[in-house]
Every structure is written in structure tokens, then in C-alpha cells.
Amino acid sequence: MKGLFITFEGTEGSGKTTQISLLTEWLDQKKIPYLAVREPGGTKIGDLIRDILLNAKLTEMKQRTEILLYAASRAQLVEEKILPALQAGQLVICDRYLDSSIVYQSLAANWDLNEVLDINRVATGGLKPIRTYLLDLPIEMGQKRLMVRRTQKDRIELKELAFHQRVREGYLKLAEKEPSRFRVISADQEIKMVHQQITNDLLPLIDHLSEPIDFMTN
């Protein structure tokens, strides 16, 4: 398959949305074709699933239901948007992907990792990003940044501080296990500095945009 599939991961308020927006401006200037999507959501069906997943009133949601709903949103996104864009040779940028389910639904929630991986293997058909930018930030800093913006917290944000600490640690463990895919970037830096580190790393990959890559086995 051609194209490039990259993802952004990190705890809440780490700057994923900000960096993806800067990156797409940069790509527009360079006239590089891309698709930018977010999870959960990114499709009409996925956006409806997102509303259920983040609804703070649905406190009765079971862990397995949560895992399956994130995977269902992902399955729709992969088949409807990501695979066609890759087949067209585009750069696909995804705001959160499978690593979010691994850390939020398994590592931080103490839930069977194999179950999450098995469900997601079905959902994604094994599609993996070639590069993942992990924006790493102390939890309190991310929450402070979001306090300025938000009046209400969603269902996941309402989880206790220790849960979010486990999410951060979980991400760092994943990055340690797969150093060739992950780039860990400190999000406690000026926005421009973070952007520069991302584009410096991405530029050589973009040079190979039209060459076939096996996203299923990397």
C-alpha cells in the first residue's frame, strides 16, 4: 500500500489538536495531500458513537461495552476513510488510534490486554501507523490547560487523577517497547518548538510518500 499513516497520542490537554492543526497548515503550504481525522469519531457513524462514549451521564457503561464501542468507531473509520486515503497515496493523520484503547481501556483500567488487542485486530484488520507522536505532559499541566477552555468534563475526563497517571505511564511503556514507531516529544515546550520537532522527523518520511509500505506488519 502507498501513503503514510501517522498518529498522535497523549493524555488530555497535551496539545494533539493544536499540533495537528499546525501540521495541516504546514502540509497545505507544501501542497502535500493529507487526510486528518480524530478518534473516537471521524465518520458520521463514529461521531454518533463518540456522543455515547463521552456522555458523562452514562455512568452504567460496562468496560467491555466501552472497548467494543471504541473499536466499532475505529472499524468504520479505517474502512470508510483511512484505507481509501492510503490507497490514494495520501498522508493520513489520526488524532488518537489503537494505542489509546491499549492504555485507556487496558493498561490504566487493569483490563486484559489480549482482549483489547483481539477485538482491535478485528476492527483494524491489523492496520498500524508507521509513526506515532506521543506528546508527553504531566497530568496536572494538561488539566490546567483544559480548565481554561472547558466548563464540563466528559465521561473519561471524570476518572480519577491516578487513572490518568496510569495512562501517561502506559503510553511511555508502549513507546519504550516500540522505539522505531514512537517519537516521544515533551509537550511542556512552546507550541512552535513541538511543531518543529514533529516536522523535522516527518519530512524524511514524506519523501517516501509514493513508495509502497506494508502497514500491516510494521
Catalog residues that contact ligand Z5A under the rule CB under 6 A.
10, 12-18, 39-40, 70, 96, 100-101, 104-105, 145-146, 148-149, 156-157, 187, 189, 191, 194
Which lies closer to ligand Z5A via its Cβ, residue 67 or residue 86? 67
Q: In angstroms, give the least distance from the CB of 192 to ligand Z5A.
A: 9
Specify whether the CB–CB gap between 122 and 36 falls below 8 A: no
Which lies closer to ligand Z5A via its Cβ, residue 43 or residue 100? 100
Residue with grid cell 451521564, as numbered in its chain: 57
Specify whether the CB–CB gap between 77 and 46 falls below 8 A: yes
Q: In angstroms, give the least distance from the CB of 158 to ligand Z5A.
A: 9
**What is the Cα–Cα distance from 131 to 218, expressed in whole angstroms?**
10
Strand order of the β-sheet with 34-38 is 34-38, 91-95, 4-10, 131-136, 182-186
Which lies closer to ligand Z5A via its Cβ, residue 13 or residue 170? 13
Which lies closer to ligand Z5A via its Cβ, residue 90 or residue 100? 100
Q: In angstroms, give the least distance from the CB of 2 to ligand Z5A.
A: 25
Q: In angstroms, give the least distance from the CB of 89 to ligand Z5A.
A: 25
Q: In angstroms, give the least distance from the CB of 211 to ligand Z5A.
A: 29
Which lies closer to ligand Z5A via its Cβ, residue 89 or residue 167? 167
User: Nearest Cα to 106, choosing from 140, 71, 141?
Assistant: 71
- Encode 146-160 in three state secondary structure: HHHHCCCCCCCCCCC
**What is the Cα–Cα distance from 214 to 218, expressed in whole angstroms?**
7
